[in-house]
Amino acid sequence: MKGNVTVTEQALAAIIGLAAHEVPGVVGMSPVGIRDGISRILGRNEASQGVVVKADPAKPGKYQADIYVVVAYGVKVPTVVESIAERAEWAAEQLGGVKLEKIYIHVVGVSRG
């Protein structure tokens, strides 16, 4: 194949957000910058809005991701968080061709739904 393939940070955020949705115990994503208990759960169509991807300026081709999720009541949060990290890392590498150096998962809410 000749030429370069570029995956934008927005596309990578969508890939990671959809991968996070596949993890049992994840109810949805949360908008970045949520404050003061104002909560809104985003569905699959808005999954990228719960993910922030940043390129590492010191390491070309390396990225970090912040993922904002709402989990189901009654799940073991550390287990869900570990699964999200594994799934996000796999999806970024296998589907986006990008290596995530760091993954930060922010559990911003718990829902019965």
> Is the Cβ–Cβ distance between 14 and 47 less than 8 Å?
yes
Confidence of residue 36 (pLDDT cuts 50, 70, 90): very low
Express each pLDDT in 55-98 by its tens digit: 887 887 789 999 999 999 999 999 999 999 999 999 999 999 88
Taking the C-alpha atoms of residue 55 and residue 73, their distance in angstroms, rounded to an integer, is: 33
Higher pLDDT, 56 or 39: 56
All domains of the chain, ordered by start, with CATH? 9-111 (3.30.70.1350)
3-class state of residue 57 by DSSP:
coil
Choose the weakest-confidence range: 43-52, 69-78, 88-97, 100-109: 43-52
User: What residues contact 103, with CB distance under 8 A and at least 6 apart?
Assistant: 64, 65, 67, 85, 88, 89
